[in-house]
Structure 1
């Protein structure tokens, strides 16, 4: 038998932090690649090193070590973002990686950031309106607002203070100007849920899904210091996504958060609008992608 693992960057290792249910099958020192190898004669991993988003994921260096005897093949083309006669989807993805300082490879056509596919907006309301406008104009398309985990999940139904409340009675997680929004009320097929178009999706709700038009909020969990994008620990609210205090490394957290934004920015098939909460990050990103 052969097992093919799509989204293999989601494979986990034992980690004492995070959702207990996600590690019930793992003991200290375990990771899922070795467990899979025990039950198959052939294991195929479809893996993107830029989509590891939390310390529970098997890291790129660990993946390389565990698969050192595997046949390594690179898939050089993606099919989500089509591009046009002047740029390709690969130009956009390579540009995102360069813009976010995840890569030093400047080999992309910056025209992709200057046309109709991509835009940077000035307010959160504009990014919400962008998604709403396309949803009203093209009702059969799937369009959502998605964001980095830079707000607490105060609408979580599991919180004691929210027990027994109807959905409309739950507090808002996002309150910026006149925009009032809640986080995704589920992370299981959130995109397909009827009310999801009125919510803001986190990385846990959107990874692995496609959208037609995406409105992306790059939050205040990133800033710029000495021309480097760095994480702002106090503004990153995914408790399970923060490395353990013992041996905590800000650069490790920064990489996880940047990977999250790479994933969010690569969801849109037909278009993407972006709002930066931290204007120093916006300025640096613009400079790097040629805007």
Structure 2
């Protein structure tokens, strides 16, 4: 594994003053509630790239240091766990734990494994830290051996203190359906505190360009800010193959540069290759990654197209984004149109008993598709390239790019 993903989440990475203060605040919160008779919850909110995960990494390293070697600490002897429902991200945390004596690989688990293991041993946890809590299951999923109604609720029942990070704009599947209101309702019966991280750390892009991305993922196509390319390589292509060739060059120069796409192209988990074709461009979707190395860090994935499931939570140096057939431009407007009939991720929108209003379901499904675009738009640290399948959207975006460079 390359060091980039590990360095990003390493507990030895320097924190900003705000992040360090937040870790101290959560430590104090945990100390205050560790001896109470009922669970307490601390929520860290923030968009993609705002540093939520590095805060958790530092926090957990401090807790485990205290739990295992600091006999005068109130955390000494506590049983604490770090959960993440994303197999690629979990690989990175386990790699981090390897060389650090006070962090064990078994400290890091998938939520279902944690719940089932504690039940099997008739045990409870002291402090549970949850990364990417927006990926927690909020309905039963028998395929993944989860038979309860909500993973977060089950985790809270088995812990004294729960610390989680949450981003409502990274909710991508009905089985992990969350809104901020749903989260607030679930934790309302427990003592709780929250903090919002706002500063974008991942991308070297200007705040104005980040705001433009946010507007796009809210369905509005606005003129590009004049500083869109300041200290950031932002380009819009009308040829997907030329974009791929440029990404290959960036990958040769600095590494960790990949093509990513939204849904809308053939995609089935059947072990075979399914191709994205756009003019002269033809590449297969990402294959299932059986290795301990995250998808983007495997050299051969320069010849694959990444999905939200392989890139969520990870940094790339350069990201070439294909906005697929599932998103187009509404003719005669500056608005995006979500085409549910072109959505090809059949697993994402499984029905759930607590959502029955057809209009509400359609609203949430469209929001999740735009959330997926939001996730892949915020991967590129040094640069982002865009290409759209829809001819009208492709022309509109390309002309916006041309106007910027005029």
TM-score where L is the length of structure 2: 0.58
Distance in structure 2 (CA, Å) of the matches to 1:179 and 1:259: 25
Match of 2:258 among 133, 144, 155: 144
Deviations 1:188-207 (A, max 9, x none): 62212232111001111111
Distance 2:349 2:335 in 1: 20
1:183 counterpart residue number: 285
In the TM superposition, 1:1-291 aligns within 5 A as 1-14=126-139, 20-22=142-144, 24-27=145-148, 30-60=149-179, 61-68=181-188, 69-83=191-205, 87=206, 90-101=207-218, 110-115=225-230, 116-138=232-254, 141-153=255-267, 156-158=269-271, 170=273, 172-186=274-288, 189-225=294-330, 227-244=334-351, 247-248=357-358, 249-282=361-394, 283=396
Q: CA deviation at 1:259?
A: 0.4
Deviations 1:89-135 (A, max 9, x none): x44333211122269xx9xx923424442111111112211210101
Q: List gaps (5 residues or longer) in structure 1.
A: 163-169
| Distance of 1:196 and 1:212 partners within structure 2 | 14
Structure 1 residues 132 and 220: CA distance shift in structure 2, 3 A: same
The question of whether the paired residues in 2 share the 8 Å contact of 1:99 and 1:286 is answered with no
Unaligned runs of 5+ in 2: 1-125
Are residues 50 and 127 of structure 1, via their aligned partners in 2, closer, same or farther at CA, if it must alter by over 3 Å? same
| 8 A Cα contact 2:138 2:178, kept in partner | no
Q: In 2, Cα distance between the equivalents of 1:70 and 1:286?
A: 48
Q: Residue 127 of structure 2 contacts residue 162 of structure 2 at CA under 8 Å; is this kept in 1?
A: yes
Range with greater deviation from structure 2 (123-132 or 61-70)? 61-70
Equivalent pair of 2:169/2:374 in contact (CA under 8 Å): yes
| Partners of 1:218 and 1:261 within 8 A in 2 | yes
Kept after mapping to 1: 8 A contact 2:286/2:304:
yes
Aligned residue for 2:235, secondary structure, equals: strand
Instruction: Give the structure 2 partner of residue 165 of structure 1.
Output: none
Deviation at 1:173, TM superposition (A): 1.3
SS of 1:77's equivalent in the other structure is coil
Seen in structure 2, the aligned counterparts of structure 1 residues 31 and 187 have a Cα distance that, compared at 3 Å, is farther
The whole-number CA distance in structure 1 between the counterparts of 2:153 and 2:259 is 37
Provide the secondary structure at the position in 1 that maps to 2:383: strand
| Matched residue count | 261
Report deviation, 1:186. Answer: 1.5
SS at match of 2:147: coil
**Structure-2 separation of matches of 1:134 and 1:128:** 10
Q: Secondary structure at the match of 2:287?
A: coil
Distance in 2, Cα, partners of 1:243 & 1:63: 20
| Cα 1:114–1:79 shift into 2, 3 Å | closer
Larger Rg over CA atoms:
2
In structure 2, C-alpha distance between the alignment counterparts of 1:210 and 1:222, rounded to whole Å: 24
Which is bigger in relative contact order (C-alpha 8 A, separation at least 6)?
Answer: 1
Structure with a larger share of its residues in helix: 2
- CA positional deviation for 1:82: 2.7
**CA offset digits 1:249-282 (Å, max 9, x no partner):** 3322211110001000000111010101124445
Distance 1:285 1:53 in 2: 28
